[in-house]
Amino acid sequence: MPLAQAQNNVPAPFKKEEIEQLVAPIALYPDALVAQILMASTYPLEVVEAARWAKANPKVKDNALEDAMQKQKWDPSVKSLTAFPSVLAMMNEKLDMTQKL
């Protein structure tokens, strides 16, 4: 691929306002959770699968949740978010935002 054509495929950088709008829903979460959200956002299909799993298994918590996650092949960042089903639901519902993160 010629360099000029490759440069045309590079997405334009986000404006400050766009970045603020993207991170606003997660800005007040603890830093460790934000880090997991950002890492998990690079696996959007797994986020969708995990959100569906969490919705179908709302009573699975604590040790049972850890055991269930051992059986999943998702990225560890996605697995960690199953402890926060509302976060997974938000990422699933706003998949466009999730992918842009």
Side chain identity at 85, as an amino acid letter? P
For residue 81, tell me if it sits in a domain: yes
The backbone region for 88, taken as left when phi is positive above 0, alpha when psi lies in -120 to 50, beta otherwise, is: alpha
For residue 17, tell me if it sits in a domain: no
What is residue 101's predicted lDDT score, i.e. its pLDDT? 74
For residue 25, tell me if it sits in a domain: no
Domain range for 87: 30-100
For residue 90, tell me if it sits in a domain: yes
For residue 1, tell me if it sits in a domain: no
What is residue 8's predicted lDDT score, i.e. its pLDDT? 65
For residue 22, tell me if it sits in a domain: no
Mean pLDDT of successive 10-residue stretches along the chain, which has 101 residues: 59 77 82 94 96 96 95 97 95 87 74
**Number of folded domains that form the chain:** 1
For the record, the structure tokens of 6 come out as 């490759």
What is residue 69's predicted lDDT score, i.e. its pLDDT? 95
For the record, the structure tokens of 62 come out as 């604590």
Q: How far apart are CA 75 and CA 42, in angstroms?
A: 10
Q: How far apart are CA 95 and CA 51, in angstroms?
A: 11
